[in-house]
């Protein structure tokens, strides 16, 4: 699929927005739970430049699967380290889903009130942002280290099983790349994306 230059610009802007929201949410929750490190690391900001990983951003831009620079946290700063880490991990995907819902509603309200040319560009941009937010949330909730879903699952599992899950982190990136390159990730995530889109957007 070949996109025009304006579509690439809209998609790039959308990628910057969804990544910034995702990582900012991680940082906010970590700081509120008692770990000041994200603030000292400059991650308590919506500036996309503070959160970008060049390779991960390019992957997301080109293929819809990617990553940003992780927010580093010290779970020992939390009152309950395992549950605190779970909430920090869950914050990113939840922020993306919340933004998808908000922008979907904004799309239905603002686009019909704009002039035709502005409505077309705005509608396309909002559609891309909503779609990327859902994809990023669903992708990150895969229970595979180092994705957010593994930390959420670890916070729910008994401690001994959580340790076993964490031990997969050494191989997690390799497994993840194999899933993406083989197309398995898309086959796994597409039904999840459609279910989440129907749930949060009513489509």
Tokens of 122: 């705005």
The one-character DSSP state at 147 is S
* Sole residue written with tokens 């076993």: 164
Q: Does residue 169 have an active-site annotation?
A: no
Closest among 78, 68, 75, 11 to 45, alpha carbons compared? 68
**Residues 19, 27: Cα–Cα separation, whole Å:** 12
Q: CA 21: distance to chain centroid?
A: 8
Our measurement of the distance from residue 129's CA atom to the centroid of its chain's CA atoms, rounded to an integer in Å, reads 12
Residue 109 half-sphere exposure toward CB, CA atoms < 13 A: 6
Of the listed 23, 35, 107, 148, which one is catalytic? 23
Closest CA to 19 of 2, 9, 6, 54: 54
| Catalytic residue annotation | 23
């Amino acid at each position: 699929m070949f996109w025009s230059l304006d579509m690439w610009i809209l998609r790039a802007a959308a990628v910057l927005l969804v990544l910034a929201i995702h990582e900012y949410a991680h940082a906010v929750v970590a700081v509120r739970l008692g770990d000041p490190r994200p603030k000292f690391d400059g991650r308590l900001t919506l500036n996309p430049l503070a959160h970008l990983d060049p390779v991960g951003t390019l992957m997301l831009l080109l293929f819809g699967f990617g990553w940003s620079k992780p927010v580093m946290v010290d779970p020992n700063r939390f009152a309950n380290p395992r549950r605190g880490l779970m909430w920090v991990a869950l914050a990113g995907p939840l922020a993306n889903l919340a933004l998808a819902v908000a922008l979907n509603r904004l799309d239905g309200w603002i686009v019909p009130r704009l002039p035709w040319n502005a409505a077309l560009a705005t509608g396309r941009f909002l559609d891309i942002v909503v779609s990327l937010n859902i994809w990023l949330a669903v992708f990150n909730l895969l229970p595979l280290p180092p994705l957010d879903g593994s930390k959420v699952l670890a916070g729910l599992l008994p401690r001994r099983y959580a340790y076993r899950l964490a031990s997969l982190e050494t191989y997690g990136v390799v497994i993840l790349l194999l899933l993406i390159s083989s197309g398995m990730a898309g086959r796994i995530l597409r039904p999840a994306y459609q279910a989440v889109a129907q749930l949060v957007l009513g489509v």
